[in-house]
Homo-oligomer: A and B are copies of this chain.
Amino acid sequence: MPKFKPFPRLLVVAGLLLPGALWAAKPDPELLNAIRDQGFNHSQVMQTLQHLTDRIGPRLTNSPQMREANRWTLAQLKGWGLSHAHLEAYEFGRGWTYDKASIDLLSPRKTSLMAIPLAWTPATPGPVEADVIYLDAMTTAELQNYRGRLKDKVVMLDEPTDSEEPHREISKRYSAAELAEMKNFDLKAPASDAPPPQDAIAQRRRANAFNEARMAFLKEEKVRGALFRSSWDGGLIRVMGQNHRVGKTFPVPALMLGVEHYNLLARMLERGETPHIAFNVDARFHDDDVNAHNTIAEIPGTGDKPEIVMLGAHLDSWHGATGGVDNAAGVAITMEAIRILKTIGLQPRRTIRIGLWTGEEQGLLGSAAYVEQHFASRPKPSDPQERAQPRWMWSSPGWPITRLPEHELLSVYFNVDNGSGKLRGIATQGNTAARASFADWFGQVSDLSEGVISNNAKSSTDHVSFDLVGLPGFQFIQDPLDYNTRLHHTHVDSYDHAVPEDMKQAAVVLATLVYNAAIADARLPRKPMPAEPSADEKAQAKQKADKRQRTKERKALSELTTGG
């Protein structure tokens, strides 16, 4: 691996280059004022959010709207004067959009139901009528009970649920006590590159194999459609997708119903009534281009081969709403932060680069591709079947890690993907050495944010793609607001629920952190590179997994034999 000479220590303040200054890492107080002035008095964050949501709409990866979002973000970033604005491609799979869908109960009584098709499921050939049947099968053997019984029917695939009695607040802000608690490192969170336990992998694989067998069965048995149940109730339609890969998409039209409407059909069947429904899904696949793209742009660093500070968010969304807080909000906040820094004339020591990722909802695909192309890669499973599974189902995260030259250059990646709530702090992902810098930087916005630093790890979004190859990638602690009660992947995740004052705060705090990272004396400290577990460690992990599996089986046996 090539090594780069450390570049000369430069101070760049408001366009003024002061070579060799010893106080190089001190932020200019007037630039800090300028960040706030732009962020609070000349904010464009809500306009950006509104264009992405209301105007472009849902941005499912490889849909025409996602491509429009790529084009529009590119044009915006160029328009703000950013450099090297471009799109970077990676292979994704099929695109899909739906224009409209309806489902009506015709008998035993008439009423409109509310549903949204699952992404990457086919259209109906116009309006279709069918009887509904509940497919009560958890194994391929149980599927055989339904052989010959499903033709021309619509099958219900999820179990109906009992109603919840949720006592949580609809919209939540962290209390001082909760924030204080986050400072305690409880060692619970595993490193994000830790391989999942083998027993969990095996279980997922069985579920996956059953799902594939069920898809094949539905096709063979010539069903007319499938119905799924939203995972949240109260009328919220929480809808994601089926497999997006070419040749692997779901065989029949499939709709996600709200809990109340799904349960109604299930209870009718229980009572011996056969619901007869009419449904119509106007949807289509887009197979013209299997590549998806990330939008990339930057404020170039002033050195010869400058280090890099990155910020980013995922541009793609699910299709049931317009992806307001998941994650047009994060895109708007990161775009606003780099707009602020560009507008105030910053000429940073390090390059400041924004990455707007796609394919996040299908497994962090855009950021993973970017990291692989620019920073480092890990070998994928050699078995093509295993390789076709999402990364978290691979039996090994892949060893060794192969670093590219830029791996040395990335100082830090900041990710925003937890809604529109204020930034109340940051999680270090176990990178304790980064605490000092974060404390310093958050100290400059202590009137805006508590700047809680948690040593725990946050999972499931694009900073993980960086963390997986030993790069410092971080996700913020944000007020959850109604993210976890009404919005996450639901049909009401729209512009409406983003809180403007929170969005502005987030952009100003993020811009301040990025500014500091871009002028700091040194690159942010890193964790040790992830290392392959020793034979001993692997054996211990296997033992643990085996033990968990035995315990689980023993418990089930004991419940059966003692009745409880």
Give A contacts to B, CB under 8 Å: 50, 54-58, 65, 99-102, 104, 108-112, 114, 116, 163-173, 233-237, 258-260, 263-264, 267-268, 271, 321, 481-482, 485-486, 490-492, 494-499
Contact status B112-A234, CB under 8 Å: no
Given contacts A235-B492, A494-B264, contact A170 B171 (CB under 8 A): no
Given contacts A169-B169, A171-B165, contact A490 B235 (CB under 8 A): yes
Find the residue from A104, A166, A258, A260 having the highest chain B CB count within 10 A.
A260
A498: min CB distance to chain B, Å: 8
Between A and B, 25 residue pairs with Cβ closer than 8 Å are A54-B268, A54-B271, A55-B271, A57-B109, A65-B109, A102-B102, A112-B116, A114-B114, A166-B169, A166-B170, A167-B169, A167-B171, A167-B172, A168-B170, A170-B485, A234-B234, A234-B236, A234-B486, A234-B492, A235-B490, A235-B492, A258-B492, A259-B496, A263-B495, A264-B495
The complex places the Cα of A52 from the Cα of B99 at a distance, in Å, of 36
Given contacts A54-B268, A496-B259, contact A111 B104 (CB under 8 A): no
A83: min CB distance to chain B, Å: 30
A265: min CB distance to chain B, Å: 10
Copies in the complex: 2
A324: min CB distance to chain B, Å: 9
Chain B residue contacts of A111, Cβ below 8 A: 57-58, 99-100
Chain B residue contacts of A116, Cβ below 8 A: 112
The complex places the Cα of A490 from the Cα of B486 at a distance, in Å, of 16
Contact status B165-A168, CB under 8 Å: no
Chain B residue contacts of A163, Cβ below 8 A: 496-499
Chain B residue with Cβ nearest A237:
B235
Chain B residue with Cβ nearest A105:
B100
The complex places the Cα of A236 from the Cα of B496 at a distance, in Å, of 14
The complex places the Cα of A110 from the Cα of B98 at a distance, in Å, of 8
Chain B residue contacts of A56, Cβ below 8 A: 109
Chain B residue contacts of A165, Cβ below 8 A: 171, 481-482, 499
Contact status A495-B267, CB under 8 Å: yes
The complex places the Cα of A237 from the Cα of B237 at a distance, in Å, of 13
Chain B residue contacts of A237, Cβ below 8 A: 235
Given contacts A99-B111, A234-B492, A267-B54, contact A169 B168 (CB under 8 A): yes
Given contacts A101-B112, A168-B169, contact A263 B496 (CB under 8 A): yes
Chain B residue contacts of A166, Cβ below 8 A: 169-171, 482
A-B contacts besides A54-B264, A259-B496, A263-B494, 14 pairs, CB < 8 Å = A54-B267, A56-B109, A100-B110, A100-B112, A114-B114, A114-B491, A163-B496, A165-B171, A167-B170, A167-B171, A168-B170, A234-B234, A234-B236, A235-B491
The complex places the Cα of A497 from the Cα of B235 at a distance, in Å, of 11
Chain B residue contacts of A171, Cβ below 8 A: 164-167
The 8 closest A-B pairs by CB, nearest first: A99-B110, A235-B492, A100-B112, A163-B496, A166-B170, A100-B104, A165-B171, A260-B494
Chain B residue contacts of A259, Cβ below 8 A: 496
A514: min CB distance to chain B, Å: 28
Chain B residue contacts of A498, Cβ below 8 A: 163
Chain B residue contacts of A260, Cβ below 8 A: 321, 492, 494, 496-497
A535: min CB distance to chain B, Å: 50
The complex places the Cα of A268 from the Cα of B50 at a distance, in Å, of 10
